[in-house]
Each structure stands twice: as C-alpha cells, then as structure tokens.
Structure 1
C-alpha cells in the first residue's frame, strides 16, 4: 500500500501571554491511500491541532516548531501560503467541528459550495451550479435545486453537517479530514452521517482521518486507531487491537467510559479520574501518570518508550517493559487488574 500522508515527529506550540502552550509534542501518524483511520482522545489531547497543523490553519500565535507533514511526498510545512491554498479544499478537504459557525450566514449554501469549484476547477457559474446540485443530492439533501438558494439558518443541524460534507468533497479530494463530524447530532443522524462517509469513501476511493472523542464512532469506520493524550500518541494499532488488546491504561479508561452492549447486567460507567496535564508545563514523564492507577516512579520521571505489542500495534507505557509489574486486562469489561 502506498502512503498518502506521513506526519513525522510534529511539534506545534502556541505563544500566549502566559507562556508557550505545547499542544502537539512529537506526533507521528501514517495514512495509506484509500484507508480510514481514527484519532481519539479527550478534549485538549491535541487531535484537532494536529490536523490544523496538516492544513496549516493555525492562529497567528501558532508555530510548527519541528517535524514534517508529507502529502504525496511533498512537505506541507515548507510550502508557501499561496501553494497551500491550492491544496486546501482541493486535494485535502476538511469537515470542521461546528457546521453553523463554519458556514457563512450571509451567503446562500449554493454560493458557498460553488466558490471552491470556481477557484480550483475554473468552472463557470452554470457548471458549478450543476455540480453543487449533484453533490447535495449525493449527500442526501432533498430538493437540492431549491436548497441551493437557501441560507444556513434554514437548515437543520444534520442538514448543515451534510452541507459541510458536500463542501469538503465538492472538488474530489484525495484526503478527507473529519473533525468531530457527529458532535451535537442525535444518534439517528449520527448513524446516517457515518454511513454516508463510508459510502463516499468507497465511491470516491479517498482516504479519511476521523477525529473524535467517541470510540464507538470509529469502531465501524476506521481500520486503524491512534489514541492521543497530552499532545502525544500513547497507543496505535488496528481497531481490533485497540478494542480487544489495548495496552495503555488511558485506552482502558476510554473503553471503560463507554457502554458495553454485550453485558447482561447494567453497570455504572467508570470515568477517568483527574484532569488532563497543563501543556504550559508538560510533565517530563508519561503525560497520563498523574491519573494512572498503575503509575510507577519511572512514569513520572522518564518519558516511556514506544513498545511494539505486535505487528502494527504500539503502546507508549512503562507497563510493557519486561521488568514492570504484570497487569492483566479484562477484555470483556475493558478493565485491568494487577495480578496478585
């Protein structure tokens, strides 16, 4: 398989009046052509900033300190803004978190969808209109001929999300980045949006990066999952590895915090105690150590190595060291218990 995107040891910081916020601290992620991968973790773990780094859409106080982002072999961090404008919305499409604030309230949906076609594909207004109607129909919006004349506030939340998907796909990108595409939608609309993304992936043969805090969302869409915490990837592997053979306490915590439909008895969900680390002064050891019930002295003092669990499955946790105490994970309940 050919790699479409390679994020190599990226460090991204924001300079504030309080100091430097180290939002992304050495992230490495690979994406192959035609593949869908997930990036999961709590709010503030660095998921969205990693993708904003890829798109070069950081605020003025943001800085890519080190690392490279290779898209089809071209380092995006070295390109000029003019060259990046040719890639954004054309080769790489992005669905942003909040469709209401991402859409311009004073322009019709048709005008907003036509703009990238006129800019990138050099289409005439009539050609762009025809393509917009076709794309709105493809994403499941009824009566697209009438809808193109309407404004964002005239659409429901689910329909606005479909418009955002149409906008991201209108130029036929090779990569679609979906940042929390189902947030604030009811479960029925969530299922429809995810099914739509899977269908379009197969139809258009594109790659997808799905960002979410909900492991249940990535289970059905992604072949591989990267778990982020404190600005780093703490575990990565296939969906099967993450759900049935997770090797990091943070991943166990995420699994414990979602309902398990296979259980015959009702159980209270177990939250992860504590708060995420302050990235103004990141911990020198494992970022999860302060919240981890299995933390050892070394976890606070030294950053864990990346251990290979099996082919394609890696975990950055000192529990995988040969001399560490043995911890057995209960797969069915998503729990871990120290062996006595």
Structure 2
C-alpha cells in the first residue's frame, strides 16, 4: 500500500464554516470542517441527514442557495483557492475538473431534453469540440458505464429510463470531461439493492481505470465499506471521527460511529435481532450546542461533554476522534456496536 504522505494532494479544506440565513435566524450547517484528499483516493463522508455532508460539498462547488454563505475557512483544489475565484473561473472547474452526481437523477436531468443533448452540452462547452465529436464521446461514456445500446439511448428522454439507468447517465455526465474529482452524493438512494451493488461496483471500476479521486457521500456506512479507503464521520456540522475504513469499522472510537455501525444488519449472525436506532434528535443548528454535538444522545456523556467541544484526539496514524472518552483521564468505555 502507498502511504498517504507520499501521495499528491488534490483537495484541502481548512476550517470551513457555512451558514444559511433564514427568517428565524442563522443555521450554522458546517462548523469548522477540515480534511485532505489525495489524487486517486476514494473518501467516504457518512452521517445522518442534516449532519453537513452535502453542504460541505456544495460549499466546495460554490452551489449554495442565495441565503447560504461560506463565512470562514479555505478550500484549495489543485493550488486554486476556490472561495476566491470569480464565477467565470468557477464555471471552468464545475463539470470539467470536478464532476458531481446529485442525489436524485430524475430531478437532476432535464425532462424536455434527450439524454444525448444533456451529455453533449458540457463536453462541447468545456472541451470546445464539434457536435459530432461530442456525440462520439457521449456514446463512449455511456458504453463505459455499461449502458445497453448507447446510440439508441442518446435519442431517448429521462422518463424512458429506469432508476438505475438514469443514475448511470448521471455518472456518465459527471465523467464526460474527465474530471480529476468525482463527488457522488447519495448515488444509490432509492435504488434497489441489486442496482445499488452494480452502481458501487461501477464506481470502483471507474476509479481504477481513470484514477479519478472520489468523494462518496452517504448516510449508510455499509455503502462506503467496499469503495473507500478512508472515511469521515460527520455529525452536527463537524467531523466527529476520521480514519481508514478499517479503523472506522474495527477500531472506531466515537459513540456516534458505534450507533451508525449498530444500524447495519449483520448477515453473518444466526440470531435475528432488531436494529438499534440512535435515540433522540440531531442538534438544532440554529442554536448549536457549545459542547459535543452528540452529547444529548450519548449514553456515555459526561459533564464536560455538555460544556466544551472536544478536540480531534489523535489515536494513531490518521485516525482521530472528537470525543472526550479519548482523553487520558476519561473513564474507560468498551467499544459498543453489538
């Protein structure tokens, strides 16, 4: 295995804070997120809805709604400071150097344009090629993602495709300009398990063939297990644990990560057991807690957890956990995922 410190950095986020201004106040959706991504690496970002996963990536893409603002921090993509770029400069990066697969392919595809027209548009815009060259590239991309009879599919509309086929179109569109980074936001949502497995296998193959870096956003730890080499666990707008996939699955050190792992069915057990949901509700980001965002739902919470945000304790290599239980003076608690 190549050590990460010998690899070339593609993306870096430093202390990113993103808020939304509403009629009832400021929603602090992302509260100091920092991480790196190397070229050719696959990173998973997991957490329940509202944890800040998608908003972090929308901050990177500069696709926030009008009431959203990245207030603080730096986002550096290939030595370019993304937050300082003009909109015209940003348009050269979106869809060209960074491709994104959005959550719902049916609402992301234009229902009144053929799939071919939608595939060809970014290729012609970013690559400056002729219509015929764009058409050939689009057919090539549909072939790459395993679309049957791609030439005929080019003439069809999104409603004529199944959910899995629409998702393949979205992946083809995101990869059409040979991006250095592919962001996949819940790419298997609303797909049946068979199609989910096919889409995830496809992403692994594309990463190996094209050496594309991938950020996979999901609420399901099981989805990232076979695709990503590293995982960030987010909760309440912050990263609460980060480490290799092995660290997160076999040596996790945060009670929220334990809760996520308990929610995954274990196919190897002979005893039928009910899944254990995490009790309680996510924090209100209109008034974020001053302490650990998970403290109200944590069975191991201490007084300090309610009063002070824990730092990211370094455990080993790049495994870090934002939990006071990792402090040398904290009581010893057994890892609980059963």
What TM-score comes out, normalization by structure 2 length? 0.97
**How is 1:1-340 mapped onto 2 (pairs within 5 angstroms)?**
1-330=7-336, 334-335=337-338
Shift of 1:266: 1.6
1:328, 1:263 → 2: CA distance? 21
User: Could you give the per-residue CA deviations for residues 242-288 of structure 1, whole angstroms, max 9, x where no partner exists?
Assistant: 00000000000000011112323221110000010000000000000
Secondary structure in structure 1 of the residue aligned to 2:73: strand
2:189, 2:238 → 1: CA distance? 23
Secondary structure in structure 1 of the residue aligned to 2:258: helix
Secondary structure in structure 1 of the residue aligned to 2:198: helix
User: Could you give the per-residue CA deviations for residues 42-82 of structure 1, whole angstroms, max 9, x where no partner exists?
Assistant: 00000000000000000011001000110011110110000
Structure 1 outlier segments of 4+, above 6 Å:
none
Secondary structure in structure 1 of the residue aligned to 2:335: strand
1:125, 1:210 → 2: CA distance? 32
Secondary structure in structure 1 of the residue aligned to 2:273: coil
- Long gaps (5+) in structure 2: 1-6
User: Could you give the per-residue CA deviations for residues 130-181 of structure 1, whole angstroms, max 9, x where no partner exists?
Assistant: 1111111111111111110111001010000000000000000000000000
* Larger displacement relative to structure 2 (258-267 or 298-307): 258-267
1:185, 1:30 → 2: CA distance? 30
1:234, 1:4 → 2: CA distance? 23
1:262, 1:56 → 2: CA distance? 43
Shift of 1:322: 1.1
2:190, 2:174 → 1: CA distance? 19
Structure 1 partner of 2:4: none
User: Could you give the per-residue CA deviations for residues 194-250 of structure 1, whole angstroms, max 9, x where no partner exists?
Assistant: 010010111111100000001110000000000000000000000000000000000
Shift of 1:109: 0.4
Secondary structure in structure 1 of the residue aligned to 2:48: coil
2:81, 2:24 → 1: CA distance? 31
What TM-score comes out, normalization by structure 1 length? 0.97
Secondary structure in structure 2 of the residue aligned to 1:134: helix
2:95, 2:258 → 1: CA distance? 36
- Long gaps (5+) in structure 1: 336-340
Shift of 1:328: 1.1
